[in-house]
Chain A
Amino acid sequence: MTDPRYKKLAKVLVEYCLDVQKNDLVLVRAGLAASPLVGEVYREILEAGGHPTTRVALPGTTELFYGNAKKHQLEFVSPIAECEVESVDKLLAIRATENTKALTNVEPEKQKAVAQAQAPLRQKYQDRVAAKELEWCVTQFPCNASAQDAEMSLEEYEDFVLRACLVHKKDPVAAWKGIRRKQAKYCRYLNDVKKLRIVKSGTDITMKVAGRKWINSDGRHNMPSGEIFTGPIENSVEGKIAFTFPACYGGREVHDVVLTFKNGRVVKATASKGQDFLHAMLDTDKGAKFVGEIAVGTNYAVEKFTKNTLFDEKIGGTIHMAVGSSYPESGGLNKSGIHWDMVADMRDGGKIYADGKIIYKDGQFKLG
């Protein structure tokens, strides 16, 4: 028998996150390890009257791709993937893998070529999202590979993931609606703010956010969620930021990233581990050196760094910044083939000032 919590999670994903309606075409992308959850989601979509279609990735195929693909294959954009992006109404991505480090030895140049080739498709997707033609949600299936990164047993990790999704609550959908209301207040306040300054040990960075929109990430796009974010004015970011936690991208880890910005652009990037990869990714395209997102994590059920951005960026008491593409709904204009979130802990003395006034301290908002 499937763990009954997956049925409960499937209901949250289909009813709350994607709000599947009769006749919606719903694409479910997942790793093979997520089969138990995919099965439950598939059933829930049918019960909601939608049309589920699945795309299940097999373990090892991404490595096979990078290991064997020649230039014309790295640069290929599948017309089927294009058709999917153009025609689906709802997209659910369920992450699950057998080995989170399977891509560690792939040449960054190859990853860059793929990111560049896929950029127009990513743009098309984001345009449809911004036009409200396409709803999306991403979630994580608790598999052993991710449990290993989190330094937990599978059972502990299942509990961690499902609690973060509020599936242990009697009515998880009601709980997520409560978070939506609370965050809406923070967003309303920040929408009137012009300038942000973030200060902590090793970090002093400022950016303009006037006219940009703060987005309430209430679990509909990420499950779990719990963050608010915006896209800063692209050329306004100034100063230095030191990221406490390793920055993970495409199966790689970069440690102790420090970025220095001038006129919005990264002018210096250092790391104690993975610096070459960091530089290669920042060279992906013009937009990769600009900030696409600045955000504050508010999910206090997520306390531990687990080397998984979906959870780490939500840790209650952290901020994160993404280099690369912005989310158009925030008003951000930066375009890039990458979007790389990096997380800094604020629980140990971090402060955020809004137009000179302190609004956040030691990992907590100080707004009414």
Chain B
Amino acid sequence: MRDPRYAKLAGVLVNYSVAVKKGDLVEIAGGAVAEPLLSEIYREVLRVGGHPFLRVSLPGMAETFYRTAKQHQLKYISPVAKFETDHVDKFISIWGGENTKAMAGVDPKKQATRSKATSGLFMRFMEREAAGELLWVGTQFPCNASAQDAEMSLEDYENFVLEACMLNKKDPIAAWKRVHNKQEKICKQLNERKKIRVVAEGTDLTMNVEGRKWINCDGGANMPDGEIFTGPIEDSVEGTVSFSFPGFYSGKEAEGIRLTFKKGKVVKATASKNEDFLNAMLDSDEGVRRVGEFAIGTNYSIQKFTKNTLFDEKIGGTFHMALGASLPESGGVNQSGVHWDIVNDMRDGGKIYADGKIIYKDGKFTI
């Protein structure tokens, strides 16, 4: 028998996160390892009257692509992928694979070429999302590869993932609605503020957020969720940030990342591990040196760093910043084929000031 929690998670994703309606064209994309959850989502979409469409990727295919593809293939965009981006009403992404480091040996230049080629699709997707034509949610299937990164057994990791999604609650949808209400109040206050200053060990960073919108991440686009974010004014970021946690992108990892900004642009980037990868990513296009997102994680049932951005950026008591594309709903206008979230712990003395007034201390809002 299947773990009944997957049917419950499918219910939250389909009915709460993307609220599938009769007649919706729903793409469900995930790795073969996530089969139990993919099937439950497929069933739930049918049950509520939608038209589910599965896009299942097989283990090893992405590596084969990068190992084998020539330039014309790296740069190719399939008309079918374009069509999907233009027509799907709801999109549910399930992450999870056999090996989170399968891409570690891939030439970063090839990845950059690919990111550049797909940036048009990525932007179109975000435009449709911002216009409310497309609802998207991403979630993680608890697989062994991710459990291994999290340094947990599969069973412990399943519990970690499913509790972060609040499936341990009797009515997870009601619990997510409470998160929504609580965060809504904080966003309202921050929407009135102009300047943010973040101070932590090795970090003193200021940015202007005037006129930008703070977005309430309440389980609509990510499951689990629990963060609020905005896009700072693109040329306003000044100072230095040191990330306490490693930065991950496409299966690669840079540690001890330290970035210095001038007029919104990264002018110095160092890392204690994989600095080459960091710099190759920063060179992939014009927009990647600017900040597309500044955010604060609020999911206090996630305490542990598990080397997985979906969870790490939500850790209650952290902030994160994304290099590259802004999320248009925040009012951010930075464009890039990359959106790379990197997380910093604030639980040990971190402070955030808004227009000179302290609003956050030691990992908690004080407003």
Residues of A within 8 A of B (CB): 22-23, 25, 27, 32, 35, 38-39, 42-43, 46-47, 49, 51, 53-61, 64-65, 68-70, 72-73, 76, 78-80, 83-84, 87-88
A235 to chain B, nearest CB (A): 39
> Smallest CB-CB separation from B47: which chain A residue?
A68
Within 8 A of A (CB), among B54-68: 54-61, 64-65, 68
The answer to whether B61 touches A46 (Cβ under 8 A) is no
A267 to chain B, nearest CB (A): 39
- The answer to the question of B302 belonging to the interface, with a C-beta cut-off of 8 Å to chain A, is no
Q: Quick check: which of B70-78, B176-184, B207-215, B240-248 contacts chain A, the rest being far away?
A: B70-78
The answer to whether A80 touches B68 (Cβ under 8 A) is no
The answer to whether B58 touches A54 (Cβ under 8 A) is yes
Q: Quick check: which of B34-42, B293-301, B352-360 contacts chain A, the rest being far away?
A: B34-42
Given contacts A32-B56, A64-B42, are A70 and B49 in contact (CB under 8 A)? yes
The answer to whether A60 touches B39 (Cβ under 8 A) is yes
- The answer to the question of B32 belonging to the interface, with a C-beta cut-off of 8 Å to chain A, is yes
The answer to whether A87 touches B64 (Cβ under 8 A) is no
The answer to whether B61 touches A83 (Cβ under 8 A) is no
A175 to chain B, nearest CB (A): 27
The answer to whether B46 touches A73 (Cβ under 8 A) is yes
Given contacts A73-B46, A79-B87, A80-B83, are A46 and B64 in contact (CB under 8 A)? yes
> Smallest CB-CB separation from B88: which chain A residue?
A80
B181 to chain A, nearest CB (A): 33
Q: What are the residues of chain A within 8 A of B57 when measuring CB–CB?
A: 54, 56
Q: What are the residues of chain A within 8 A of B8 when measuring CB–CB?
A: none
> Smallest CB-CB separation from B55: which chain A residue?
A55
B305 to chain A, nearest CB (A): 32
Partner of A65, one of B22, B25, B46, B84: B46
The answer to whether A23 touches B72 (Cβ under 8 A) is yes
The answer to whether B79 touches A58 (Cβ under 8 A) is no
Instruction: Report the separation of the CA atoms of residues A47 and B65 in the bound assembly, to the nearest whole angstrom.
Output: 10
Partner of A69, one of B23, B35, B46: B46
B23 to chain A, nearest CB (A): 7
The answer to whether A73 touches B42 (Cβ under 8 A) is no
Q: What are the residues of chain B within 8 A of A80 when measuring CB–CB?
A: 25, 27, 53, 80, 83-84, 87-88
A107 to chain B, nearest CB (A): 16
Instruction: Report the separation of the CA atoms of residues A54 and B57 in the bound assembly, to the nearest whole angstrom.
Output: 8
The answer to whether B38 touches A58 (Cβ under 8 A) is yes
Given contacts A72-B22, A80-B84, are A87 and B56 in contact (CB under 8 A)? no
Instruction: Report the separation of the CA atoms of residues A39 and B32 in the bound assembly, to the nearest whole angstrom.
Output: 13
> Smallest CB-CB separation from A55: which chain B residue?
B55
> Smallest CB-CB separation from B77: which chain A residue?
A51
A204 to chain B, nearest CB (A): 48
Add 8 more A-B contacts to A56-B57, A58-B56 (CB < 8 A): A27-B80, A46-B69, A51-B76, A54-B56, A58-B32, A58-B42, A78-B53, A80-B83
Q: What are the residues of chain B within 8 A of A53 when measuring CB–CB?
A: 78, 80-81
8 examples of A-B residue contacts, CB within 8 angstroms:
A23-B76, A42-B61, A46-B73, A56-B57, A64-B46, A73-B46, A80-B27, A80-B84
- The answer to the question of B43 belonging to the interface, with a C-beta cut-off of 8 Å to chain A, is yes
Instruction: Report the separation of the CA atoms of residues A68 and B65 in the bound assembly, to the nearest whole angstrom.
Output: 36
Given contacts A46-B73, A60-B39, are A83 and B53 in contact (CB under 8 A)? no
A159 to chain B, nearest CB (A): 25
The answer to whether B46 touches A46 (Cβ under 8 A) is no
The answer to whether B32 touches A22 (Cβ under 8 A) is no
- The answer to the question of B252 belonging to the interface, with a C-beta cut-off of 8 Å to chain A, is no
Q: What are the residues of chain A within 8 A of B88 when measuring CB–CB?
A: 80
The answer to whether B39 touches A39 (Cβ under 8 A) is no
Instruction: Report the separation of the CA atoms of residues A51 and B42 in the bound assembly, to the nearest whole angstrom.
Output: 27
> Smallest CB-CB separation from B44: which chain A residue?
A68
B76 to chain A, nearest CB (A): 5
Q: What are the residues of chain A within 8 A of B73 when measuring CB–CB?
A: 46, 49, 51
B24 to chain A, nearest CB (A): 11
- The answer to the question of B116 belonging to the interface, with a C-beta cut-off of 8 Å to chain A, is no
- The answer to the question of B51 belonging to the interface, with a C-beta cut-off of 8 Å to chain A, is yes
A296 to chain B, nearest CB (A): 37
Within 8 A of A (CB), among B94-120: none
Instruction: Report the separation of the CA atoms of residues A160 and B59 in the bound assembly, to the nearest whole angstrom.
Output: 27
B1 to chain A, nearest CB (A): 14
The answer to whether A73 touches B72 (Cβ under 8 A) is no
Q: What are the residues of chain A within 8 A of B69 when measuring CB–CB?
A: 46
The answer to whether B78 touches A64 (Cβ under 8 A) is no
Q: What are the residues of chain A within 8 A of B64 when measuring CB–CB?
A: 39, 42-43, 46
> Smallest CB-CB separation from A64: which chain B residue?
B43
A190 to chain B, nearest CB (A): 39
The answer to whether A54 touches B61 (Cβ under 8 A) is yes
Given contacts A47-B68, A58-B35, A72-B22, are A39 and B58 in contact (CB under 8 A)? yes
The answer to whether A56 touches B58 (Cβ under 8 A) is yes
Instruction: Report the separation of the CA atoms of residues A34 and B39 in the bound assembly, to the nearest whole angstrom.
Output: 18
The answer to whether A43 touches B68 (Cβ under 8 A) is yes
